[in-house]
Structure 1
Amino acid sequence: MSSTIIERVTVPGTRRSTAWVVPAIVFVLVASITIYVGSVPLDSSETRSLAPEVIFMSLWQHVQLVVISTVLTIAIGVPLGVLLTRSRTRGVGAVVLAAANAGQAVPSIGVLVLLAMIFGVGFWMAVIALVAYALLPVLRNTMVGIRQVDRALIDAGRGMGMSAREVLFTIELPLAVPVMLAGIRVALILNVGVATLAAFTNAGGLGSIISSGIALNRMPVLIVGSVLTICLALTVDWLAGIAERLLRPRGI
């Protein structure tokens, strides 16, 4: 008895790319809510809340909140994470991470309200709250990424005459980049979601459309604000995934 075995061989580069899936989903969602809003009768309050200039302004405010808070989070979290992995400060690392974990356990609306009571309301207060809430993933992943570097590689660098600074920038950070980028991506998505609550502190964003829909009991307004937030989160995650692949050092 003879049998024929057919092997399916995948040639590199022949697999269809799936990078178009997320943009296609976003396009379908935006097209769907556009058709939905155009097909239902809107009263005067709904028309004002869903005016193009209002939507674009809210979207721009949301993007500003996310971008500025994420940049500040990276600027604080990465250097602090690196500092806490040095031999002189390793003992402090556990304390800082415990404090950051405790802060992460606090509901995001609680952080916003607390900071609003201390600093007042407005755009920059919301940015401070977003930075405080998203700092943990960046800080933790920076520390984990550097700590997981093989000690033999560090010793080899030292044996070649590298200084501690050269070892950090030539060996440790490049090898820690994938883990660090994953933490930054998580922080970015967290900021997109939490930024919707900034509307309650007069900071604008897509949350203002959602809160208007809730306050006015207008379903079209609520649906548009929610779907746009979903679309923004999907788009940001897609762009972050592309950046993560491009910034990953070759060979890792």
Structure 2
Amino acid sequence: MWADYISFWRDRYPDLLNATWEHLSISLVAVALGVLVAVPTGIYLSGSRTKWVQNSIFTIANLFQTIPSLALLALLIPLFGIGVKPAIFALFLYSLLPILRNTYAGFQSVDPSILESARGMGYGRTQLLLQIQLPLAFPYIISGIRLTTVYVISWTALASLIGAGGLGQLIVSGIGVNKTELIVSAALCAIMLALLADRALGAVEKHFSQRARSSKSEASII
């Protein structure tokens, strides 16, 4: 049995490598778009005093999470056709809520007394954002990105159902031809991608958490 798997990996290595790269590319683009939209939005909401705006945006982000993956992909086909575009857009919509929520929570967690002390020392709004609020909130943001990335890598396998490629395509092909080696190999690659992304972002989160504690200690002295 193991000899069959080793032989299969040797013969299909280029296909697995290409599918893994496609899978990773789709995931990273979706998460990057989510970061570009959700982080600034979370920063804006943390400073907004208009409750209905906050509630409306969080409700919309929550709504995307309630739509089943296959249903969302099907709804996007008339707009984008089949392929990579609707897959990335669907994954982008799924990525918004965790990043948005963690960004908002991170900025809300900053001690108001630290901000007041900084204002008393002449810090402007931009200085407060870049030098105090963002460093203190960054571990929360990274935590949201970490969670989102792992989820998106897992969900990307479904994108193969609309012709987006990736490891999901190999899994579907393996099911179609009843090839267990293909199914297991592609699934293992997807699992490894998720685990590696989690470990890498976990190290980044730990690093910035330590820096945030140092920044908080320094800020409390102000």
TM-score using structure 2 length:
0.88
SS at match of 2:47: coil
The question of whether the paired residues in 1 share the 8 Å contact of 2:31 and 2:92 is answered with yes
SS at match of 1:250: helix
2-side partners of 1:247 and 1:122: how far apart?
37
The offset of 1:197, in angstroms, is: 0.8
**Following superposition of structure 1 onto structure 2, how do residues 31-180 of structure 1 map, counting pairs within 5 Å?**
35-38=3-6, 51-87=12-48, 89-180=50-141
1-side partners of 2:157 and 2:163: how far apart?
11
SS at match of 1:208: helix
2-side partners of 1:149 and 1:77: how far apart?
19
2-side partners of 1:249 and 1:172: how far apart?
15
Per-residue CA deviation, residues 215-244 of structure 1 (Å, 9 max, x unaligned), is 222222211121221111111111111222
Residue 167 (structure 2) pairs with residue 206 (structure 1) = yes
Change (3 A) 1:132 1:229: same
2-side partners of 1:34 and 1:204: how far apart?
27
The offset of 1:109, in angstroms, is: 2.1
The offset of 1:198, in angstroms, is: 0.9
Amino acid at match of 1:37: Y
Partner of 2:219 in structure 1? Answer: none
Per-residue CA deviation, residues 2-47 of structure 1 (Å, 9 max, x unaligned), is xxxxxxxxxxxxxxxxxxxxxxxxxxxxxxx9755136xx7xxx99
Amino acid at match of 1:201: I
Amino acid at match of 1:127: I
Gaps of 5+ in 1: 1-32
1-side partners of 2:119 and 2:66: how far apart?
40
Per-residue CA deviation, residues 91-126 of structure 1 (Å, 9 max, x unaligned), is 411211111112112122222221123211111221
Residue 207 (structure 2) pairs with residue 239 (structure 1) = no
Per-residue CA deviation, residues 72-99 of structure 1 (Å, 9 max, x unaligned), is 1111111111111223555411211111
2-side partners of 1:96 and 1:168: how far apart?
22
Provide the alpha-carbon RMSD of the alignment.
2.2
What is the number of residues matched between the two proteins?
213
More helix by share: 2
1-side partners of 2:2 and 2:50: how far apart?
54
1-side partners of 2:150 and 2:46: how far apart?
26
**Which is higher, the Rg of structure 1 or of structure 2?**
1
Residue 162 (structure 2) pairs with residue 197 (structure 1) = no
SS at match of 2:46: coil
The offset of 1:54, in angstroms, is: 1.4
Change (3 A) 1:238 1:36: farther
Partner of 1:184 in structure 2? Answer: 145
Partner of 2:218 in structure 1? Answer: none
Change (3 A) 1:150 1:204: same
Gaps of 5+ in 2: 214-222
The offset of 1:177, in angstroms, is: 1.0
SS at match of 1:51: helix
